[in-house]
A and B are shown apart, each in its own frame.
Chain A
Amino acid sequence: MYPSRFRYEAPHSLDEAIGLLTNGGDYAKVLAGGQSLVPLMKLRFASPELVVDINNVPGLAYHRAEPDGTLRIGALCRHADLERSQLLASTQPTLAAAAPLIADPIVRNRGTLVGSICHADPQGDWASAVLSLGGSIVAQGPGGRRSIPVAEFVTGPFQTVLEPDEIAIEATIPPAQGTRAGGYLKLERRVGDFATVGVAVSVETSGTVVTRAGIALTGVGGSTIGATEAAAALTGRPLTAESIGEAARLAADAARPRTDHRGSAEYKRHMVATFVERILGRVTEPAERAA
Chain B
Amino acid sequence: MAVLLNTDQLFATIQELAKDLSARHPGFEEVVFVGIQQGGAVLGEEIVAELRRQHPDKTIPYGQLDITFYRDDIRKNIIPPDRMNIHFGVENKTVILIDDVLFTGRTIKAALDVLFDYGRPAKVELCVLVDRKEHRQFPIQADYVGTTVKTGRADKVKLVNQEVVLIPG
Are A and B bound to each other?
A: no
